[in-house]
Amino acid sequence: MLIDSLVTAGRVAEAGQCADLAVRQGVWKHAFQRPLHYIDYLPPVVSYDPGKFWIAGYLQRHYAEILAEFERVSTADGAAFKPVEEPLVDRGGWDQVIFYEGRRRFQQVEELFPATSAILDRIPHEHRCAGVIMLSWLQPGTHIARHCGYTNGRLRIHMGIKTPAGAKMRVNQSTLTWQPGECLVFDDSIEHEVWNDSDEPRVVMLYDIFHPALAEADRIELMGGEYAQDQVRRSMKERGFRRLSLKSNGEVQVDLDRFTDLTVRRYLTDSGISTIELGADGELQIQR
């Protein structure tokens, strides 16, 4: 969205002005809480007592097993963690291993983390489909830019796995830190950002749950969200992709749909351009 794009570009003051305007126009009630999916009757509370959420206690009881398996897998298979797709990393690196995303379970991850997967599978299905369940790995020196989660209809649990001094999270005006084997519960639709200003990775178990004050009708709506295949289909249509394939060298090949292909060809031909590339700095690199 525009506000997050302005923040990513370093135009923080303009982002704040846009947020204030949206509040005046009734889009949100608070400039610090800007989810795309906004439920206006839910209170904007930064953090909650983890003792009031049984899932937090359940994860904490199994911390030692989860930690042991994480250490085994991360030592044996450095490729188990994949980069987070969202463009939120201001500096450093942010990687993840996803166990569940909505209603989808990832078989390859289950094979890599059988003990952790078994622990999660003992949680009833209706408590595993609020969002994402994953291990989140923040590299040393990383900063995740300020942003708001997709919906205020759920809360996010973080259980500390590796928690070096120098790792912290700001949620609105509150600063939160992690402890090994202990859970934080916070509303990730409220603006937050994360730092790992240490020389060690920060790793947490991230677990989304439904907001306790969420009405049943809204819970059903969130549970009925898109399957992963629906998300891919919609994304491909929006971007004009006809086919995506993974080549033997690991590169992704993209074939465009007919309309997008003709549009790109006409633009390149009429402009006398052979190659156009979007650089890491957001600037276009053009070869003629």
Phi and psi of 222, rounded to 5°? -65, -40
What pLDDT digit, counting tens, does each position of 119-151 carry?
Answer: 999 999 889 989 999 999 999 999 999 899 999
Buried residues in 117-129 as b, exposed as e (16+ CB within 10 A): bebbeebeeeebb
Phi and psi of 263, rounded to 5°? -65, -45
Return the pLDDT at 69: 96
Mean pLDDT score, 202-210: 97
The candidate with the shortest Cα–Cα distance to 48, out of 261, 252, 274, 212, is 212
Contact 108, 72 (CB under 8 A): no
* pLDDT at residue 208 tops 70: yes
Range list for CATH 2.60.120.330 in the chain: 32-225
What pLDDT digit, counting tens, does each position of 64-76 carry?
Answer: 999 999 999 988 7
What CATH number labels 32-225? 2.60.120.330
User: Can you give the length of the chain in residues?
Assistant: 288
| Residue 33 C-alpha from the chain's centroid | 16
Return the pLDDT at 68: 97
What is the maximal distance between C-alpha atoms in the chain?
Answer: 64
For residue 213 the two structure tokens come to 């004050």
Q: Which residue has the tokens 């080549």?
A: 247
- Transcribe 205-254 into DSSP letters: EEEEEE-TT--HHHHHHHHT---HHHHHHHHHHHHTEEEEEE-TTSPEEE
Q: Which residue has the tokens 């890599």?
A: 112
Return the pLDDT at 260: 83
Q: Which residue has the tokens 């609105």?
A: 172
Identity of the residue numbered 285:
Q
0.85 exceeded by pTM: no
Return the pLDDT at 70: 95
Return the pLDDT at 193: 95
Torsion of CA 119, 122, 126, 128, to 10 degrees: 10
Q: Based on the number of CB atoms within 10 Å of its own CB, is 138 exposed (0-12), middle (13-18) or buried (19 or more)? A: buried
Return the pLDDT at 77: 65
Q: Average model confidence (pLDDT) for the chain?
A: 87
* pLDDT at residue 108 tops 70: yes
What pLDDT digit, counting tens, does each position of 220-276 carry?
Answer: 888 865 545 666 776 777 778 888 888 888 788 888 888 788 777 777 776 778 888
Identity of the residue numbered 47:
S
* pLDDT at residue 162 tops 90: yes
What pLDDT digit, counting tens, does each position of 12-54 carry?
Answer: 677 676 766 766 777 777 778 899 899 999 999 999 999 999 9
Measured CA to CA, the distance from residue 263 to residue 242 in angstroms comes to 14
The candidate with the shortest Cα–Cα distance to 135, out of 234, 80, 204, is 204
* pLDDT at residue 188 tops 90: yes
Angle at alpha carbon of residue 66, lines to 65 and 70, rounded to 5°: 120
To the nearest whole percent, how much of the chain has pLDDT over 70? 89
